[in-house]
Each structure stands twice: as structure tokens, then as C-alpha cells.
Structure 1
């Protein structure tokens, strides 16, 4: 890992949720910049209805909303809204609702590691477009040309996040190897004007662990999942799926239109 750019640094690759102007963090570019303290620092997360999650976060995130797996890689996602670009748990003042788990992916912002493919390394970047990055901020990025204590702590957090991301990939691969995934659908059944049940409407298609496949695993495989901690994470995922009802109830209570498919 590196925090500085070298001559001939290749193009930083990858599109990352929330980050619109990532730049390799250097004293030359960011020596006078820092972070200003804000009462509502999470305004940027208002646009994140589906936020990446690491496996170690499953038990905490499960109390907030559904944890699902998406895409060919079946990456875990915390669903925080029914409509694309609308996080239902972030208030207009930039704070999360009390009691809501804030994913580490959100808490690491505005820092992120990015791929420098030409040099085969990871580069620490900062989103220059973040509203709380200003010249002469309360928490400086650099002091005397060296990373400040604040920046060192952020680097450590990002390093830990990367370790957890790798552990999450191993967890997903384990589920794939055991063929535990199945396609699932979240539906919403509205009421007709006369009070009767209307036609079910699809909210989202996603991947989840099949309880049937899980129950049919050989006892030695179940023991292995229990001993390596994966079984607890699987159950956290399964229990989290009741959170679809919570999201629907929140949408209806706020007078929102009927839920539409989440583009996860």
C-alpha cells in the first residue's frame, strides 16, 4: 500500500460508489487541505440505497435492513432504500437515523484504496469533491509534509477494510463452493381500495442463501461452517431478510409512492 504518487503513476481504475473525483493523496496536491467538522457529515450517503458490506458487519447490519448478494460475483450489499439513489435512513441534515448501523464503506469516506494497474499496487486516494474537504480544515491531511495522525488513523481504517473485504470474498467463495446460493425475489402486496389484497409487485431480484440447501448439507460441512464462524454470518443474512417489510413500512409511513424495483 502507498500514500504517495510516483512518477509515471498509471491511471487509477474502477468506479466506486460516492467517489466522484478520487485523487492519489499527496502532500503536493493536498498539503494545505483537511477535513472540516460538520454536524451532518453523511449527506453524500443519501444517494446510496445499496451499500457494499463486509461479512464481519452482518450481525450489526442485520437489524437495519436486508443483506443480499448481487451480481455475478455475488457481493454482499446492505439494502437501505427501495428506490435507486434514495437511502431511507439518511436524514436531509446529513445524519443517519438513530439506531441505524452505518456501514464501514460509508465511514471510510472520503478515503479509498484504488488500483494502479501499471505499477501493480494499491494507492490511497481521497475524493476531492467531498464537501467537507477544505483548505485549512480542522483535521489536516499532512503536517510538515508527512501524513497527520488523522490521516494515519484513516489509512489504518482503510487497511482494515481491505482485509475485511478479502475475508468477505473468501466467505462468498465458500458459499459458492457449497452451492448454497439461490435466486430470490422481494415482493410487495398492496391493498386495493376495498381492503382486499392487490396484485403482488416485485421490489427486487437478488441472490441469497437457500435454507433448503443449507439444511441438506452433510453434518461435517455444517460443523465446518459453525467452527469457522460462517454459519453465524449465514443466519444473520437470513434473519436480515425480514427487513424488506421494514423498508416497505417506512416507505408507506412517509407517504411515498408504491415501492419500485431496487436496481441493486
Structure 2
């Protein structure tokens, strides 16, 4: 049942307010016989502040919905504990998927005085612009949905082959598939080097093995990088000053 202490004359206030708002609005008043009756409409309130807080915390004996000719709706109820104020909140537009509301800030409702003329001015200058902007964003999101986030592209696998001064070639694979290809091409795993090595005793055989391994690795989408080991820095030497020419000796008498 309505709270007998609620002195808000919402049934008279709502239609007068509808006539003062810009545009064409109609008013529908609802009296709640039970506490649960306040939720079917209140659940559509697009608010995370005053209005939703009042719905969650208080028994609201009645409400009103103002509907504009383009479908916009405003929810109105008396503000608990404030007999000279009403709460006005925007109602979410219907017919849109939840994804359309993602990233759209709720046009939180406001408290207005019980003077419908002043209330209409505050609604028109504050709540309605934010409401219309939020609805426009929802419609845009629905018309141009964001594509699903794609998974990051993994880095392509590569096998690094390093030539050494003695002609040996060492390869370090990152997967068992690459290791199998190297083994089948003639590379032998060396635990000390922690790499698959290929002797340089027969350069022709070595070249064929490298080409075969490269072709098979490429077929599996695995790249090959050939590197030479960094050259050793030259030994540090101390500069020797050039010899000074000998001074001619002079005799003294």
C-alpha cells in the first residue's frame, strides 16, 4: 500500500509537468498496491544515482511515466524524506541489445521542486540533453557495432643458424617440430652447445642440408635466420713511441 506519510500529489503534478516540457508528452500515473509493484517500471530506470537508490531503499507508493512522441520516457516518483521534491529519471530505450549500451554513461536522474514549471525548466536544461545524447550513442552503437576483439597475432617461429669459424653450423629450434626437421636434415644435437650442429667438413653436404632444412621449415611456417658469430675484438696494444733521432755529440776543447 502507499506510504500514508507520503504527501506528494504526484497524480496532479505529472500531467502538468508533461504539458510544460518541450515537445509532446503524455502522462500515465500508477499506484502501487504492493511493494513489488514498484519494480517492473523502476527496473527500466537508466540511473545509477538518486533514483535507483530510492527505488532500492524505499517503499514507493506510486510513480508516473511521461512519454514523448518519439518514445523517450521519464520516470517520476516522490523523493522520500523530501515532501517538496520529486525524483525524475530517464528510462532506457527498449529494443536494443545489451552491447549497444556498453560504454554509454547513464543519464542519471535529478531531484526537482514540486513546482511543475520550475521542474520542467530543470529537466529541459539538465536531464533531457544528457538523456538524448545517451540515446543517440546507443543507437549509433547498435547501427555500427564494434567488431569483436581479435586475439594478438603470435610472433612467427624462427630458427637461428649460426656459422662458426671452424665451419660448424649450430641451430637452435624453439619447437619439437623444428627440431625434427633439423634432425632429419642431418643436424645432430650437441648437449654442450645446447643446439643442433652440422659439421663443416664437407661444405657441399652442409649446403645441401641447410637448403633442405630451410625448405622444410618454411613449409611449416618457420623462418630461418643465418648469423655469423661476432668477431673477437683486437687485442689491446700499447703504442710504442717512435725512436727519437740521436743528438750529434760535440767535443769540447
> Which of 1 and 2 has higher RCO (CA within 8 Å, sep 6+)?
1
Q: TM-score, normalised by structure 1?
A: 0.25
Q: TM-score, normalised by structure 2?
A: 0.26
